[in-house]
Amino acid sequence: MKLKHDTWVVVADGGKYLLLRNRGDAQTPVLNVILHDEIDNPPDQMQSSDRPGRMPDPSSARSALEETDWHRVGKQQFAAELADRLRN
């Protein structure tokens, strides 16, 4: 793919991103960093402290509830915030 002059490129994962602009041309791209950010998102086991919750289940005595993966939630929030930033 050839990048025209002033084309923006986003390189991102769930915890960091680079926003780049091509200052060169389609033949010789020169990508300069416009914005960058990274979040502090430790592994889930470092963010949660409780055991999974339990609730009554009509067919048995008790049933465990699925734990929230706070690391995954952090990545999703980061991606949503980046998308909002790019829209504006």
Per the domain annotation, does 2 fall within a domain? no
Task: State the total domains in the chain.
Answer: 1
- Residue 21 in domain: yes
Q: Say if 34 falls within a structural domain.
A: yes
Q: Is residue 3, in this structure, part of any structural domain at all?
A: no
pTM (global) more than 0.95? no
- For residue 60, the enclosing domain spans 8-87
Span 2-34, pLDDT tens digits: 899 999 999 998 888 999 999 999 999 999 999
Residues 6 or more apart whose CB falls under 8 angstroms from that of 16 comprise: 36, 37, 38, 39
Q: Which pLDDT tens digit goes with each residue over 40-49? A: 777 766 666 6
Residue 11's closest CA among 29, 38, 30?
A: 38
Q: Is residue 51 part of a domain?
A: yes
Of 78, 48, 43, residue with least CA distance to 65: 48
pLDDT band at 39 (very low <50, low <70, confident <90, very high): confident
